[in-house]
Amino acid sequence: MSILQMEQVSYQYAGSKKKVLKKINMAFEPGKLYVVVGRSGAGKSTLLALLSGLDLCTEGSMYYEGQDMKVLDRDAYRAKGIGVIFQGYNLLTNATALENIVLSMNISGSREKDKREYALKLLEKVGIDRDTAVRKVLKLSGGEQQRVGIARAIAHEPAIIIADEPTGNLDGDTEKNIMEILRSLAHDQGKCVIVVTHSKAVSKYADELWGLNAGNLVFLK
Amino acid sequence: MYLFENAIRNIFRNKGRNIILALVTFLIIFAAAVSFFISGATASMIRNTRTQFGNQATIELKDETASTGGLEVAAYLKYGASDLLCKTEYSMTAYGRLDSLRALDEEAPDGQANTILAATSRTDLGDDFRKGLRSITRGKAPEKKGECLISEEFAALNSLSIGSQIKLLPADTGRTGTAEFTVSGIYSDNSVNGTGGQPGMPLYNRNNEIITTIETAAAIDFMVDSIGRQFNAVYFLKSSDQLDAFQNELLEKGLPAAYTVSANKEEYRQVVAPIEKLSKISNIFLLVVLLLGTFVLVLISVMSMRERKYEVGVLRAMGMKKPKVLLGMLTETLAVTAVCLLFGLLAGAVAAQPVANTLIQQAAQVNIHMTAPIIGQISMVALLLAGLSSTAGILYITRFEPNKILSERN
pLDDT digits (tens, 9 = 90+) for A127-160: 899 999 999 999 998 889 989 999 999 999 999 9
- CATH architecture assigned to A4-219: 3-Layer(aba) Sandwich (3.40)
Question: Which strands sit side by side in the sheet containing A208-213, from one edge to the other?
Answer: A82-85, A160-164, A192-197, A33-38, A208-213, A216-219
pLDDT cut 90: percent of chain A above it: 67
What is the predicted pLDDT for the residue at A153?
A: 94
Q: Is the dihedral of CA B45, B51, B56, B57 positive or negative?
A: positive
Angle formed at CA B154 by CA B153 and CA B160, multiple of 5 degrees: 110
pLDDT in tens, B348-405: 888 888 887 777 665 556 677 777 888 888 888 888 888 887 777 777 777 778 888 8
Q: How many CA atoms does the CB half-sphere of B336 hold within 13 Å?
A: 29
Of A49, A55, A94, the CB nearest to B14: A94
pLDDT in tens, A81-113: 999 999 888 999 989 999 999 999 999 999 888
DSSP chain A: --SEEEEEEEEE-TT--SEEEEEEEEEE-TT-EEEEEE-TTSSHHHHHHHHTTSS--SEEEEEETTEETTTS-HHHIIIIIEEEE-TT----TTSBHHHHHHHHHHHHT---S-HHHHHHHHHHHTT--HHHHTSBGGGS-HHHHHHHHHHHHHHT--SEEEEESTTTTS-HHHHHHHHHHHHHHHHTT--EEEEEE--HHHHTT-SEEEEEETTEEEE--
The residue of chain B nearest to residue A153, with distances taken between CA atoms, is: B318
Alpha carbon of B32 to those of B29, B116, B283, B362, B376: distances in Å?
A: 5, 57, 9, 23, 12
> What part of B 317-336 touches A (C-beta under 8 Å)?
317-321
Taking residue B143's Cβ as centre, other Cβ atoms within 10 Å add up to 12
Single-letter amino acid code for the residue at A72: L
Q: Say how far apart CA A216 and CA A43 lie, in whole Å.
A: 9
Name B235's bridge partners: B57, B88
Cross-chain Cβ contact B314/A92 below 8 Å: yes
For chains A and B, count residue pairs whose Cβ atoms are closer than 8 Å. 62
What is the predicted pLDDT for the residue at B265?
A: 66
What is the predicted pLDDT for the residue at B15?
A: 85
Name A34's bridge partners: A194, A208
Q: Which residues 6+ apart lie within 8 Å of A2 measured at CB? A: A27, A28, A29
Q: Is B410 on the interface with A (CB under 8 A)?
A: yes
Mean pLDDT of B117-133: 90
Q: Are strands A59-64 and A4-12 parallel, antiparallel or unpaired?
A: antiparallel
Q: Which of A54, A72, A104 to mutate to test the interface with B (most CBs of B within 10 A)?
A: A54
Q: Say how far apart CA B39 and CA B27 lie, in whole Å.
A: 18
Reported as a pLDDT band with limits 50, 70 and 90, residue B108 is confident
What is the predicted pLDDT for the residue at B134?
A: 93
Cα-flanking dihedrals φ and ψ of residue B175, to 5°? -95, 145
> Is A1 or B188 the better-scoring residue by pLDDT?
B188
Q: Are strands B85-99 and B210-213 parallel, antiparallel or unpaired?
A: unpaired
DSSP class of residue B104? T
From the number of C-beta atoms within 10 Å of its C-beta (0-12, 13-18, 19+), residue B290 rates as middle
What is the predicted pLDDT for the residue at A3?
A: 94
pLDDT in tens, B131-187: 889 999 999 999 999 999 999 999 999 999 999 999 999 988 788 899 999 999 999
pLDDT in tens, B231-272: 999 998 888 778 889 999 999 999 998 898 887 766 677 777
Q: Is B10 on the interface with A (CB under 8 A)?
A: yes
> Is A103 or B225 the better-scoring residue by pLDDT?
A103
Angle formed at CA B261 by CA B256 and CA B264, multiple of 5 degrees: 150
Single-letter amino acid code for the residue at A129: D
Chain A neighbors of B409, CB-CB under 8 A: 88, 90
Q: Give the closest residue to A90 by CA, choosing from A186, A160, A42, A162.
A: A162
The interface pTM score, or ipTM, of the predicted complex is 0.91
A28-32, B41-45, B211-215: least confident range: B41-45
pLDDT cut 70: percent of chain B above it: 93
Chain B neighbors of A54, CB-CB under 8 A: 317, 401-403, 406
Chain B neighbors of A95, CB-CB under 8 A: 9, 13
Q: Which of B13, B318, B410 to mutate to test the interface with A (most CBs of A within 10 A)?
A: B318
Of A45, A78, A136, the CB nearest to B317: A78
Alpha carbon of B217 to those of B122, B225, B230, B289: distances in Å?
A: 13, 11, 12, 60
Of B9, B13, B317, the CB nearest to A90: B317
Cross-chain Cβ contact A84/B317 below 8 Å: yes
Alpha carbon of A179: minimum distance to chain B alpha carbons (Å): 22
Alpha carbon of A116: minimum distance to chain B alpha carbons (Å): 13
Cross-chain Cβ contact A107/B318 below 8 Å: yes
Q: Is B261 helix (H, G, I), strand (E, B) or coil?
A: strand
Mean pLDDT of A23-49: 91
CB B209 within 8 A of CB B119: no
Mean pLDDT of B323-344: 89
Cross-chain Cβ contact B320/A107 below 8 Å: yes
Alpha carbon of A21 to those of A143, A216, B373: distances in Å?
A: 31, 6, 63
Single-letter amino acid code for the residue at A206: A
Mean pLDDT of B29-54: 80
Mean pLDDT of A203-213: 92
Cross-chain Cβ contact A106/B2 below 8 Å: yes
What is the predicted pLDDT for the residue at B193?
A: 60
> Is A202 or A209 the better-scoring residue by pLDDT?
A209
Q: Are strands A59-64 and A67-68 parallel, antiparallel or unpaired?
A: antiparallel
Q: Is B145 helix (H, G, I), strand (E, B) or coil?
A: coil
Single-letter amino acid code for the residue at B409: R
Cross-chain Cβ contact B316/A76 below 8 Å: no
pLDDT in tens, A106-134: 999 998 889 999 999 999 988 899 999 99
Name B290's bridge partners: none
Mean pLDDT of B326-342: 88
Alpha carbon of B144 to those of B134, B136, B216: distances in Å?
A: 21, 17, 8
Chain B neighbors of A86, CB-CB under 8 A: 317, 406, 410
Chain B neighbors of A90, CB-CB under 8 A: 313-314, 317, 406, 409-410
What is the predicted pLDDT for the residue at B360?
A: 65
Alpha carbon of B366: minimum distance to chain A alpha carbons (Å): 49
Q: Which residues 6+ apart lie within 8 Å of A133 measured at CB? A: A96, A97, A98, A119, A120, A123
Of B311, B313, B319, the CB nearest to A80: B319
Q: Say how far apart CA B342 and CA B29 lie, in whole Å.
A: 9
What residues of chain A have any CB closer than 8 angstroms to a CB in chain B? 45, 49, 52, 54-55, 75-80, 84, 86-88, 90-92, 94-95, 99, 103-104, 106-108, 136, 152
Mean pLDDT of chain A: 91
Alpha carbon of B410: minimum distance to chain A alpha carbons (Å): 6
